[in-house]
């Protein structure tokens, strides 16, 4: 087991190194001269040259790469051209809101996917199954940014059921200001007893979370259906039936329990995937997370910020993959021995 974990970790480290190199390459694909951009449009040639020296752009590429590498590892992820703050601290400020949002989306997705997947598996081929399968394919085919706009129009603006945008009602800034402890609004609010804020954040989170939940819900429904159908012919399912358990228990408790392992793996992976989907949703709902930060950076061509977000999410993805690998090996000894 130790050997397996060590191998996976070593591989992950290698991949992370490669990811950092790749982001370095992307950074240098930017057309134009970064030194000139830094120095400004009215800089003289001498000032541009000075800027180049200052930014270290006159050194050979290999040295630049090494220093970039070292920077990443020591927490220097560059400075955002837009906010003029270190990218890493920008990320620390905006990441919690997105992590909250995606977590909420995953919960919604599971609440939808488990019952629907089970129903689909229990009566395969019938009308209900076909409808659920069509629905889940609809979920994974959804243009997220469009769904966000539509839901915002219908529920927030026309029906006025839900808030339009923002993380919480602006008025609460004055009446019940939120003291940030962990950075996570939904944790800080109850922690400081600020229940009106808690409710407001929840309400504002609902629409964007539902939008982001569409893809995972579709994916997980299909996966649960496939996993449960796979086990339905197994001997232990027959044994449980022979003991007198009804079909609902057979599917809901016994078959489903077996499906949790691969489903948990998928949840970890689609979590990182959904973090990227926030790019398409947060700006529309004014949700102050990674997505809004990324969209703003893209619009203002803030390369350090764009790459910082990219690196961050890639690291989350690698970490999630690693965690899944180790978790699955711990549960199923056959995986380690392969």
Partner 1 sequence: MRLRITGLQVRFGERRVVDLAELAIAEAEIVGLAGESGSGKSMTTLAVLGLAHTVGARVDGSVRLDGAELTGLSQREMREVRGRRIAAIFQSPALAFSPVFRVGSVVHRALRLHGMTRTEAAAAAQRAMRQVLLPPALLDRYPSQLSGGQLQRVAIALALALRAEVLLADEPTSALDVTVQAEVLELLRDLRDREGMSVLFISHDLAVVAELCDRVAIMQDGRIVEQGPTSRVVTAPASSYTAELLAAVPRLGAGGGR
Partner 2 sequence: MIEAPSTLPTGGARLPRGQALRRGLAANPLLVAGGLLSALIVLMALLAPLLAPFPGDAGSATHPFLVLRPPSAQHWFGTDNVGRDVYSRVLYGARISPLIAVVVLAISCAVGIPLGVAAGYFGGWLDEVIMRVTDIFLAFPPLLLALALAAVLPASITTVIIVIALTWWPWYTRLIRGQAASVAGRPYIDGCRALGISRRRIIFRHILPNSITPLIIQVSLDVGGVILTVSALSFLGLGAQDPTPDWGLMVAEGQNYFLTSWWVVTFPGIAILVTAFAFTLLGDGLRDLMDPKRIFLR
Interface contacts to partner 2, rule CB under 8 A: 11, 14-16, 18-19, 21-23, 26-27, 29-31, 124-125, 130, 133-134, 137-138, 140-147, 149-150, 153, 157, 219, 222-223, 226, 229, 232, 262, 266, 269-270, 272-273, 275-277, 279-280, 284, 294-295, 297-299, 301, 303, 306-307, 310, 313-314, 317-318, 321
Site for partner 1 in 152-181 (CB under 8 A): none
When the beta carbons of 202 and 269 are compared against partner 2, the nearer one is 269
Strand partners, 79: 86
Residue 197 interacts with which of partner 2, partner 1, none, CB < 5 to 8 Å by class: none
Q: Are 197 and 231 in contact (CB under 8 A)?
A: no
Alpha-carbon distance 322 to 248, whole Å? Answer: 35
59-68 long-range contacts, Cβ below 8 Å, gap at least 24? Answer: 61/28, 64/24, 65/21, 65/24, 68/20, 68/24, 68/27
Alpha helix stretches (DSSP H) within the chain: 2-27, 34-39, 45-54, 61-73, 87-122, 127-140, 144-151, 172-175, 185-191, 195-231, 235-242, 247-249, 256-285, 290-299, 303-331, 333-337
The token duo for 254 is 């016994």
**Closer CB to partner 2, residue 93 or residue 319?**
319
If one asks whether residue 58 binds partner 1 (CB under 8 A), the answer comes out as: no
* CB of 69 or CB of 260, closer to partner 1: 260
The yes or no reply on residue 315 touching partner 1 (CB under 8 A) is no
- Per CB under 8 A, which region of 28-36, 130-138, 255-263, 270-278 contacts partner 1? 255-263
One of 257, 299, 330, 335 touching partner 1 (CB under 8 A): 257
- Residue nearer to partner 2 on the CB measure, 186 or 294: 294
Name the minimum Å distance from CB 60 to partner 2: 22
Out of partner 2, partner 1, none, what residue 307 binds, judged by CB under 5 to 8 A for its kind, is partner 2
Phi/psi zone of residue 252: left (φ > 0), alpha (ψ -120 to 50 degrees), beta? alpha
Q: Among residues 45, 62, 159, 243, which is the contact residue for partner 1, using CB under 8 A?
A: 243
Helix/strand/coil for 79: strand
* Sole residue written with tokens 């270190």: 86
- Would you call 255 helix, strand, or coil by DSSP? helix
User: 319 Cβ partners below 8 Å, 6+ apart?
Assistant: 12
Interaction site with partner 1 (CB under 8 A): 233-246, 254, 257-258, 260-261, 333
């Amino acid at each position: 087991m130790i050997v397996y974990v060590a191998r996976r970790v070593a591989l992950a480290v290698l991949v992370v190194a490669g990811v950092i190199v790749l982001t370095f390459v992307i950074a240098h694909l930017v057309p134009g001269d970064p030194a000139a951009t830094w120095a400004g449009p009215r800089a003289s040639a001498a000032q541009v040259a000075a800027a180049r020296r200052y930014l270290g752009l006159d050194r050979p590429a290999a040295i630049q790469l090494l220093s970039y590498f070292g920077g990443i590892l020591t927490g220097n992820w560059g400075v955002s051209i837009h906010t003029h703050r270190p990218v890493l601290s920008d990320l620390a400020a905006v990441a919690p809101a997105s992590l909250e949002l995606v977590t909420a989306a995953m919960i919604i997705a599971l609440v939808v996917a488990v019952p629907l997947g089970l129903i689909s598996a229990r009566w395969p081929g019938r009308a209900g199954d076909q409808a659920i399968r069509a629905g889940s394919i609809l979920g994974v085919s959804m243009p997220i940014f469009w769904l966000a706009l539509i839901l915002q129009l219908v529920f927030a603006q026309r029906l006025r059921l839900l808030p339009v945008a923002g993380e919480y009602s602006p008025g609460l800034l004055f009446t019940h200001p939120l003291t940030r402890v962990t950075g996570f609004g939904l944790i800080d609010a109850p922690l400081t007893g600020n229940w009106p804020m808690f409710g407001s954040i929840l309400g504002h989170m609902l629409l964007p979370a539902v939008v982001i939940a569409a893809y995972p819900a579709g994916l997980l429904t299909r996966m649960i259906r496939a996993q449960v159908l796979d086990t339905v012919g197994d001997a232990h399912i027959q044994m449980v039936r022979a003991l007198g358990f009804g079909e609902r228990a057979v599917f809901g408790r016994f078959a489903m329990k077996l499906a949790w392992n691969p489903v948990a793996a998928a949840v970890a992976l689609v979590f990182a995937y959904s973090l990227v989907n926030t790019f398409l949703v947060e700006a529309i709902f004014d949700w102050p997370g990674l997505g809004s930060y990324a969209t703003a950076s893209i619009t203002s061509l803030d390369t350090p910020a764009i790459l910082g977000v990219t690196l961050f999410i890639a690291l989350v993805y690698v970490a999630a993959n690693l965690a899944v690998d180790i978790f699955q090996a711990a549960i199923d000894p056959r995986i380690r021995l392969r």
